[in-house]
Structure 1
């Protein structure tokens, strides 16, 4: 991993990938698959799953593309034909001038947390001894080939969003540097068929006021929602009354001149999730508080309550391997560290057998969280089933929206985790999956994959969070 080199309004990443075992020319190693993304919304050219993260400013950088949408990368980066290896070089939008390091997420490897950003000469785009695309036999020294930075016409960046569920799931906060959205479960705020706040609502309202105070002044929207039981007019009226009750309570804690409250009821017209089960209806009964403004101060999430019950595998000793027996057997171990204030969990998955070229992969990591609701999607192989718990507080992996479509009007969301959850792991091999979570004031966390109801769901308790 070379330092990131500034080149005008771009920054160039250079990564050398050298095989540990000799490579036969007739059996090249193909790297493209782990770096590609199976998107539902956009045509995502490889190697998109290699990304830069500014975890102080909460921004993610995607690789630059040309006028045809093709990635601007070094030639033949995706195939290793000799034991020399290969060099992947690609351009991104440069970070702000005061940013002197970024994190780099490479598929299958632990997050590189602190890669320097320097002013220097951009290295050649071809590794010494590698065959440039236009050459024939392997040269002793590769011809210096420069990355064509003039081809870059689009180098996107996206604001990272964090989602936490506090007070035993009663309050869910989704925020970025630009906005905060707090969803309050109506069943905690109100009794059935009532718009009068319960005694238990006090802690939830206090938390909302705290989140608003972390932001620049602006108009706060308070919107009430109901489930689909009852007629439309009744639900509309109930949602308006409940939104007003929350606004009245907030009005006693925030300065109305700095944070004027705009109250609205939408009845059953905008469900968070489809379905008529009691669980689905409970999620749809909610009051959503939104403020669009920038962060002034940032308060880390502080845990309260006990770990929720869990029916899956539980590993009480985080230093020990957890064996997951499915069609194949896997050993997993997790460690945690703090990067830019965020909690980063590195989950190592190793094949516990001797199989080679098996069709069975560690599928228990594939999927995404349900906190975004209906109308949203994540890449097909996304590895976002892993959440972090501290007491009753749950943190979802950081994510960001890359686009919308007619099928997915709520957008497609990429997570700050490996986007290739179906990687093959042969016997004797391991793969590391890094997850970036919101900021959390905790010395130890619990990692949970799944809800506990599916085969392979597991929980690793009391993982120390290291510097």
Structure 2
């Protein structure tokens, strides 16, 4: 384990104090601006200091925290010594209304990153580079940020957090419970002069001692009712095909359903101009090692031979391997685990000079049957949850931002009293990839897009060296809200072809086949709009 992994593991054991603070202190956060399009207009003119950002330096939107309207001005990102300092200013819209001020520092906190209160939950998104930056960590294993809990009153509250310096002139910002801000300006010291908040004000560590996390955004899709699963990472594309749709038991002869699954899998590879392809067979743990090894090789060869007749493999003639039962995808010997382990994988590494077709493979098949209530995105659906809670969920549109789609899902509590969403939008502690990860059990991991029979999961990224992953979405839905109040949950998906999409929250099951996460529902006919 690296030093970074050790420090992140240590922080995970101490996050409970921050969790408790969030559960007590957070209140409802509601995006009042147009979903997916908020924050694109310039703010009123002002000075260039962090407390009064200039018109060209900020992107703004208004939300509701608890029962108060709050205006957020995000930006600029000021680069100092290779560190980008993001400024976020919150101002109460009607400070004389007699209501208690909202605690904005607490709203932006992420107890998994740092159990101190501050804007540790902010993320910088570079859609052109396909990366996300999380808050910098100093030599004391603390987030590089302003800290402390500040309630809004007559004066605005300004928060600052440090990140790896963005490489472009603008960067997008995702704030928990607030929303997605497109095109926040990035200023160098030459552009901006001396800023009111310096890096030395946020940490005692030297710049060389800071960890500046930048992660590649990865894609995960499923076709053929989950029989074909594709993960696209920076250096490799992995397509896993369930053996049960390809072969009968103990057979390496392809069955009648194989062509549809192989055509779907092959389309993921054929989008690249050049690279190296390996077809790998895997089995479950039934029968002997020797038998399973031989079966896995024969199955991989059958897939390679048939795939070559369905797509053009001339640019990447496949190698064939069998790994028997040595690399299970799921632990255990339950029927569900063994079914996951019986698979054939296409492992593709694009060449350094390879080009991509630029468009997503056409969706395959028809919409799968819905597992819960169905309504249009604009009209929404009513969804029951736990004992007596009921919510209205809607999504008017998704916005195309670069190679992504951004959605602001509106949730109104209809009944059940004051509480948080908890795992309402989550696939559970097992996550949407079947791995146990308690840090995503309250994240919006189960909000997927459907186009035809293809399911698109939220973009995600590696959180640490241990293989745990975070979605590019609100990931800790601990904000309590009461009957008649509204929350807005932000999710970022990969680009999807077409002018409309469907939002689907399916039923997920854990490795033990128990139902996991929140309830199922579907929203259809959601328009995809340009910025």
TM-score bucket (shorter structure): 0.7 to 0.9
For the structure 1 residues 418 and 32, does the alpha-carbon distance in structure 2 shift closer, same or farther, using more than 3 Å as the test?
Answer: same
Alignment partners' CA distance in 2, 1:398 and 1:8: 30
For 1:447, the equivalent position in structure 2 comes to: 503
For 1:168, the equivalent position in structure 2 comes to: 225
Superposed, 1:38-437 pairs within 5 Å as 39=112, 47-76=119-148, 78-80=149-151, 82-96=153-167, 99-119=168-188, 120-121=191-192, 124=195, 144-148=196-200, 151-152=206-207, 153-215=210-272, 217-250=274-307, 253-254=311-312, 259-293=316-350, 296-297=355-356, 298-315=358-375, 317-326=376-385, 327-334=388-395, 335-352=397-414, 355=417, 358-361=418-421, 363-367=423-427, 371-374=432-435, 378-405=439-466, 411-437=467-493
Alignment partners' CA distance in 2, 1:162 and 1:183: 14
Alignment partners' CA distance in 1, 2:441 and 2:96: 31
Alignment partners' CA distance in 1, 2:495 and 2:105: 33
Contact residue 164 and residue 438 of structure 1 kept, 8 A: no
For 2:43, the equivalent position in structure 1 comes to: none
What residue ranges of structure 2 are gaps of 5+ in the alignment? 1-73, 509-514
For 2:38, the equivalent position in structure 1 comes to: none
Alignment partners' CA distance in 1, 2:477 and 2:194: 32
What is the deviation of 1:374?
A: 3.9
For residues 101-129 of structure 1, give each alpha carbon's deviation from its aligned partner in whole angstroms, at most 9, with x where no partner exists.
322111112321332334432785xxxxx
| RMSD, aligned CA | 3.1
Contact residue 121 and residue 135 of structure 2 kept, 8 A: no
What is the deviation of 1:404?
A: 4.1
What residue ranges of structure 1 are gaps of 5+ in the alignment? 125-143, 406-410
Q: TM-score, normalised by structure 2?
A: 0.73
Contact residue 507 and residue 519 of structure 2 kept, 8 A: no
Alignment partners' CA distance in 2, 1:401 and 1:377: 15
For the structure 1 residues 250 and 382, does the alpha-carbon distance in structure 2 shift closer, same or farther, using more than 3 Å as the test?
Answer: same
Alignment partners' CA distance in 2, 1:84 and 1:353: 35
Q: Secondary structure at the match of 1:90?
A: strand
Match of 1:456 among 509, 512, 519: 519
Alignment partners' CA distance in 2, 1:240 and 1:117: 53
Contact residue 346 and residue 433 of structure 1 kept, 8 A: yes
Q: Secondary structure at the match of 1:364?
A: coil
Contact residue 377 and residue 412 of structure 1 kept, 8 A: no
Q: Secondary structure at the match of 1:461?
A: strand
Q: Secondary structure at the match of 2:221?
A: strand
Per residue, is there more helix in 1 or in 2? 2
For residues 15-72 of structure 1, give each alpha carbon's deviation from its aligned partner in whole angstroms, at most 9, with x where no partner exists.
1112345499996644455434454xx8677533210111222101112222112122
Alignment partners' CA distance in 1, 2:193 and 2:347: 44
Alignment partners' CA distance in 1, 2:288 and 2:451: 40
What is the deviation of 1:328?
A: 3.0
Q: Secondary structure at the match of 2:241?
A: strand
Contact residue 391 and residue 413 of structure 2 kept, 8 A: yes
Q: Secondary structure at the match of 2:457?
A: strand
Count of aligned positions:
434
Alignment partners' CA distance in 2, 1:90 and 1:215: 38
Structure 1 segments (4+ residues) deviating >6 Å: 23-28, 42-45, 452-455
For the structure 1 residues 174 and 359, does the alpha-carbon distance in structure 2 shift closer, same or farther, using more than 3 Å as the test?
Answer: same
For the structure 1 residues 372 and 329, does the alpha-carbon distance in structure 2 shift closer, same or farther, using more than 3 Å as the test?
Answer: closer
Q: Secondary structure at the match of 1:79?
A: coil
